[in-house]
Amino acid sequence: MDRRSFLRWSGAAAGAAVLTRAAPVSAQDAHAHAEASATAASAVPTFERRPASRTAAPGGQPSVITPNGISLPWTVRDGVKVGHLVAHEFDHEFAPGMRARVWGYNGHTPGPTLEAVEGERIRVYVTNRLPEPTTVHWHGLILPNGMDGVSGLNQRPIPPGETWVYEFDLRHPGTFMYHSHYDEMTQIALGMMGMFIVHPRRPVGPRVDRDFVLMTHEWKLEVGARRPDPNAMNDFNVLTFNGKSYPGTEPLLVGVGERVRIRLGNLSPMDHHPIHLHGLNFVMTATDGGYVPSSAQYPETTVIVPVGSTRVIEFTPTEPGDWAMHCHMTHHVMTQMGHGLPPMVGVDTSTVDRRMSRVVPEYMSMGQTGMGGMGEMEMDIPPNSLPMRGARGPFSYIDMGGMFTVLKVRERPERADPNGWFEHPAGTVAGPADPARLRADGIEAP
């Protein structure tokens, strides 16, 4: 690489620091920019303790919990459960400091979780307030062909401004999804999806104490943009659980010794997600195709959730603590990180830094020793962006964002603060090695 090219690329590596400071802005824009930067750097949402789950189905089956989300309310008319979904555009916060105009249902993406019981009949009204037609497909459910929701094949699309109705019996229990089946590339990419839980009339397997629903998704939101790009086929840069990127994701609070179920759904445009849980192992008990026989279940710590599929896992935690839960594709736990730059690890930029500082005093190159710690650097960032940020943890900065959340295992979860950190017993936290112990164990540290 010649000197001119090296200078150009090294400058690009510091893009955010240079460009956002060098660009002329009005006083009003500068004030708004400063507020956005402060919010992105320091704001961490707080969450209320959730009430105990009600009984949702025979055999004491608990109702599902949708972190960061809601369940669709039902009314009963002549023995039929009646609900109402409104498809529309709204402003959505992915995490503090990052918002976008998205499409969804009833002000949420994913939309409200539908929860019912095998054998019930439901009637769902769908009002279309989008600028184009839409439909709803009930993904994985077995129902009359005319209720399947595929535009042109099973029904005419619902025109803007109109309300249509779907009505069918829930013949089979399981973990399902719903989503638009008109202009899917645009509408699903912008958030038109949700989870649909049908509890069995007779419980299957051991009774669970807590039952969670998490829908994964991926978005392409250019830095500073106000709308996701529905035409993206790769390079997705906002990864979410239930429409939120960490630290916006609500933690899952459970008890030691409780049996816990997590229902995972994936309607991402392109990518599968290997979801990994720390501190425990689990078994996969069901897919959107039905239950997995106990004889076919085996222990795992990571489950791949393919596009267009659901996976249900169950486990009993034995170790209290704050345990990470995340997609194990490393770029899926980052947020809006810069792509298209050359590798900088190991590059000596001292000469470039010295020369560039004559022109831009606050210039610095980044990435020569890796990208860790970038979230802690309180430098200006473009408005409505969260480059490589996580949140402050109990020991230091958690430099993971995106599709990341925390499973908080407590001895008494009913009294635990969902915003509090685990208090470790003395002597159970990794720390600097004692020189005497090193010598006694025959370890020669470099």
In this predicted structure, what is the pLDDT of residue 74? 98
In this predicted structure, what is the pLDDT of residue 235? 84
pLDDT at 13 over 80: no
Give domain status of residue 405, yes or no.
no
In this predicted structure, what is the pLDDT of residue 348? 85
Does residue 59 sit in the same domain as residue 81? Answer: yes
Q: Out of 131-140, 253-262, 310-319, 343-352, pick the least confident.
A: 343-352
**Tens-digit pLDDT profile for residues 388-427:** 668 889 999 898 899 999 999 999 999 999 999 999 999 9
Q: Out of 42-46, 134-138, 247-251, pick the least confident.
A: 42-46
Closest CA to 20 of 246, 223, 164: 223
The pLDDT of 51-63, averaged and rounded, is 89
- Can you name the residues that pair with 275 across neighbouring β-strands? 303, 327
Cα–Cα distances (Å) from 395 to 158, 289, 420, 426, in that order, read 52, 43, 13, 15
More confident site: 15 or 219: 219
Query: Which of residues 295, 311, 331 is at a domain's end?
Result: 331
What angle separates helix 350-359 from helix 3-13, to the nearest 10 degrees? Answer: 70
In this predicted structure, what is the pLDDT of residue 382? 78
Give domain status of residue 442, yes or no.
no
The pLDDT of 49-54, averaged and rounded, is 83
Average pLDDT of the chain? 88
pLDDT at 30 over 80: no
Which pLDDT band, with edges at 50, 70 and 90, does 374 fall under? low
The pLDDT of 70-76, averaged and rounded, is 98
**Tens-digit pLDDT profile for residues 428-443:** 999 999 999 999 999 9
In this predicted structure, what is the pLDDT of residue 446? 78
Closest CA to 238 of 313, 380, 335, 360: 335
In this predicted structure, what is the pLDDT of residue 26? 42
Give domain status of residue 425, yes or no.
no
Does residue 37 sit in the same domain as residue 63? Answer: no
Do strands 290-291 and 282-287 pair parallel, antiparallel, or not at all (unpaired)?
antiparallel
Query: Which of residues 312, 331, 350 is at a domain's end?
Result: 331
Give domain status of residue 426, yes or no.
no
In this predicted structure, what is the pLDDT of residue 97? 87
In this predicted structure, what is the pLDDT of residue 41? 44
Q: Out of 6-10, 68-72, 191-195, 402-406, pick the least confident.
A: 6-10
What percent of the chain stands above pLDDT 70?
86
More confident site: 366 or 445: 445
In this predicted structure, what is the pLDDT of residue 384? 83
CATH of the domain at 181: 2.60.40.420
Does residue 312 sit in the same domain as residue 368? Answer: no
Cα–Cα distances (Å) from 428 to 1, 321, 411, 423, in that order, read 49, 11, 17, 10
Residue ranges making up the domain that contains 10? 3-42+337-384
Give domain status of residue 398, yes or no.
no
265 with 139: CB under 8 angstroms? no
In this predicted structure, what is the pLDDT of residue 23? 36
In sequence order, the 6+-apart residues with CB closer than 8 A to the CB of 245 are: 94, 95, 98, 238, 239, 335, 386, 401, 402, 403, 404
Do strands 309-315 and 260-266 pair parallel, antiparallel, or not at all (unpaired)?
antiparallel
The token duo for 85 is 């979904």
Give domain status of residue 297, yes or no.
yes
**Tens-digit pLDDT profile for residues 298-339:** 999 999 999 999 999 999 999 999 999 999 998 888 887 655
Does residue 151 sit in the same domain as residue 244? Answer: yes
**Tens-digit pLDDT profile for residues 250-288:** 999 999 999 999 999 999 999 999 999 999 999 999 999
The pLDDT of 371-377, averaged and rounded, is 67
In this predicted structure, what is the pLDDT of residue 288? 95
pLDDT at 372 over 80: no
Burial of residue 196 (number of CB atoms within 10 Å: 0-12, 13-18, 19+) = buried
Does residue 30 sit in the same domain as residue 149? Answer: no
Number of domains observed in the structure of the chain = 2
Give domain status of residue 66, yes or no.
yes
3-state secondary structure the chain: CCHHHHHHHHHHHCHHHHHHHHCCCCHHHHHHHHHHHHHHHHCCCCCCCCCCCCEEECCCEECCECCCCCECCCEEECCEEEEEEEEEEEEEEEECCEEEEEEEECCECCCCEEEEECCCEEEEEEEECCCCCECCEEECCCCCHHHCCCECCCECCECCCCEEEEEEECCCCEEEEEECCCCHHHHHHCCCEEEEEEECCCCCCCCCCEEEEEEEEEECCCCCCCCCCCCCCCCCCEEEECCECECCCCCEEEECCCCEEEEEEECCCCCCEEEEECCCCEEEEEECCEECCHHHCCEECEEEECCCEEEEEEECCCCCEEEEEEECCHHHHCCCCCCCCCCCCCCCCHHHHHHHHHHCCCCCCCEECECCCHHHCCCCCCCCCCCCCCEECCCCEECCCECEEEEEEECCCCCCCCCCCCCCCCCCCCCCCCHHHHHHCCCCCC
Does residue 19 sit in the same domain as residue 68? Answer: no
